[in-house]
Structure 1
Amino acid sequence: MGATLLCELGLFLLCTLLCTGHTQGDQDAVLTIEPSWSSFFIEEFVTFKCDMNEGEDTDWEYKINKDGREFIPYNTHKDYSLPITTTDYSGEYQCSGRRKSSHDTKNSSAVSLTVLDRPRATLTLGTTIIPVGGSVTLNCSVDSYAKWKYEWFRRTQRTSEVPIRDQQNRDIRVSQGGIYRCRGTRGNPVYNTDISDDVTIEKTLSNKVVVKQQPNWPQIFRGETITLTCEVQEGGETTEWEYEWRGPRTPTQWTHNNDVTFRVSESSSGDYMCKSRRRDDSYSSTEWSEAFTLSVSTDKPRATLTGTTTIIPVGGSVTLTCSVQSSDGWKYEWFRRTQTTSEVPIRDQQNRDIRVSQGGIYSCRGTRGNPVYYTDISDDVTIEITFSNKVVVKQQPNWPQIFRGETITLTCEVQEGGETIEWESQWRGPRTPTQWTHNNDVTFRVSESSSGDYMCKSRRRDDSYSSTEWSEAFTLSESTDKPRATLTAGTTIIPVGGSVTLTCSVQSSDGWKYEWFRRNQTTSPVQIKDQQNRDIRVSEGGIYRCRGRRGKPVYYTDKSDDVTIEITSQFRTETFPTRLITGLLCGILLILLLLLLCYIKLSKDESFVRTQSTNQSSAMKHMINQEAQHSQNTSLQGDVCIYESIRDYDDRVKAECRDFTYSLIELKNFTNKDDSLLYADATYSKTECNSDKRKSATEAADEGVYSEIKPQETQGASCCDCNDYQIGFKWSKFITKSPLTIE
């Protein structure tokens, strides 16, 4: 029992030792890299070393894994040197060892490796200009990586590049001009970075340089050619120099020429600087000159041609001036042409001012520089020679007042010997052409815009630049209101067998003919033919009016107001106003006559009425009371109209003529109940007469009696329907009205 327990304990300890020993063996493998840098560059070498820390190195086989995959298979070399050719070698590396006798394995920890592209050294400096007697500091670096040493190189334009010995530091100071560069080195074998960019170091000379422009014009135009010169001052005359420029249109390389010539364009504007250096010491130069600013005018200039006057007086001349604004250095070319000849230069004339005594069309332009630069040619100026002939503007028709809508003609007339010459004319005015024309007149219809001053001048057709002076202004005043004709008559009544004179006129104007029209109340107006005079005589009644006309095409005034002409007659009048006045007069006379006759008649009848009224009053009162009583008993209300007929008792005797007198009898009711008026129509036969036997007025009055009164009610009316009596007149009868009151 005890032995068994001991055996089990021994086996347990053995297993524990074996397991523990195996685990410790796996952790004892170590992978190292040489050089021990974290980053490597392409074309460098890295060496992997795998150490098992157990037994002899020959007891093991070795392999290297990358990112968990086999990279270098098992072999007997614990060291493996790898040339780096690509950045794909970046990753996690681990080595494994396998014992040859037992095939036990050990694994190392992972080691990270970063591979980068070949680096370039960077050369920096505070300034590239070495002051006189001084130096500058150069600095070379390779990103931020350590373990670098540096190599420095210098060359000139005439010598090849050589290393600067005893200079392996990162920073160096130099006092010699030249082209410098550097590179970094490390490792064994030596690994070199790419070499840095060049840096040119120059030594400053004390000489001063200035940029000058030729030609030295203050304004330069696009298309002109200029020269910029780099001039070394303060003792630089005896030294051979070369030059460098900075500017939009200058070379950037050093050149033996101290000037640069170019044709100016929009891109030429800007600042220009230069510096110089000795030809035998290309890295000893002056400082940069002060900037010279070139401003280019993009618009091509145009010459301006002016003249003291464009009219050459007889036997005289005029001065023409050509100029280019705000610029210098110009010469001038002059040209002349006519309408029939082409333009030709005026030789031997390059001045700004010239005098000419010949008519024509002149122009000029400016020239300057070499090669020659031309401005745009000036606008034309027409020079004319003045004739002594005088011109006058005349109006046809020559009416003092012109109305809107009329057509007139203005004529340009050359006087003083111009009759035998063929002329052409030019006009100035609101409604005239501005070009020269062979017609010496202009015709237009007058409107509001026609008012104003009109002038003209003439020139020979065979010499278009020899003309007269402008005429004096002819002022046209246009009347905007259309005129109205005025019709007047000496009288509007044509006497029997006679006539009247009608006059048509248009106020304050001349040249009118007239059109006459006649109508009556039932017909439309018709024109009276063959009548165009201002005054006409008419013997026919009617309504007349007229209007004026003049000019070609014809211009009409507004028509006049109507005038009515009447004819006088012995028997009747022709017009309504005359008949009305005559009728009224006759009516008034007739009424007066009737009133006189009635007065006479009434005076004759008064005696008869008094006699009969006494005999008949009692009977009349009785009958009236009865009628009043009867009226109260009826169903009618209000006023009642009762008409009675009073006729002659003896109506048998007939006569050739009778006089009738009608009386209106007013009946009064004396009862207290009703105050209605009773009306009776009494017909009374007064007299009878014939041609054989005529009674006297007294006898006729004695024969007049009232026979009976018969009341007649008008049913269905509440008021009296009393019609007015009409007064009629006949030569054989008299009818009157007279009231009769019965109490």
Structure 2
Amino acid sequence: MLYVDWFTVLGVVDRVSSPSSTHVLASIRDTDLAECVEGSRGCSYWFRVSSVSVPVKLPSRRLYSTGASVEIISPCQPQYTVKLTLHCRSHYQHCMYRWYRDNIELHGQTTETIIISLPEQTGHYQCSLSIGPNVYFYSSDICPIRRIEKPSASMKIVSPQEPLYTGDRVTIQCNIPEYTDWTYVWYRDNQQLPSETSETITISLQDKAGQYQCHGKRTCWPSQSYPSSYLPISGIDLPIASVRVSPHGLLYSGESVTLQCDISDYTDWTYRWYRNKKLQSSGSPSKIITPLSDQVALYQCQGRRTDRPKSSQRSVSLHISVTDYQPKATLSSDKQDILTGDSVTLTSQPGQCL
């Protein structure tokens, strides 16, 4: 069984419990407004009285009990703009309105909608309404209004760890702290990269070093983020390798030479040797070539290691060649006719290179 209380806006007329949705009032004035409230269910019934009679049985007409509320009607939330239109929402018509910011009445604001400027007029807003002079019977909940700054984009290098080296492939990420439906816009040296729209991009430092920047775009508010700061991305040169040969000078067929690979930094290299730009062997920093007649070529070396930098530059090519002419020594004596028992002096003279 439903029990209700009956009362008017200006005071209780007859507050009793009734088992039905109608009740007979003992006395009532013309144009009074009565309300029926169903306990915790929160529905309301309003009645307009047209005449004075005792007793009066009032037929019911059901309306909503939401009262008043402040809502933003332009633009959509959250508030990234400068101007906002607030609306005092109610299911009642022909009302008078009052507006409050931070519990202080805004004099002169007596319409259903008001326009405020951000950020100067941020605060907690509330509206109330009445059906007659000085009769305010509904106040809205407090609606906090503040200007929200657009999200700011930031950038970071995901991989590899710095320092970066020439030839590295670098993955960069554009971070925007709010929302997930961004389309990302990338720039290198202030030139947009139209093919890049993802949160992360991968570039080669061999030919794409430069100043990078990003920001986000989306369909709803905020339609874009603030751009990130510039992130300079460049690589330092890899350690330099060089090849030296021993012995120095002219090399002749049948001889052996030793090549030595020197790399400027670190000591944990594994060495690779190249002959005419093709990998020949790995391991030792030195390489012995013999016989030379079969090994004429261009030689290079390069270092590899586990940690960064994982490789050195490849050395400049060293040309190993064999001299075609090999000089012969000549032997001469101080006497032409030599008899047994004679003493002679022999002289050896080295040959001359042509």
Q: Which has the higher contact order (CA 8 A, sep 6+)?
A: 2
With normalisation by structure 1, the TM-score equals: 0.22
Q: TM-score scaled to structure 2, two decimals?
A: 0.41
Structure with more of its chain in helix, by fraction: 1
Larger radius of gyration: 1
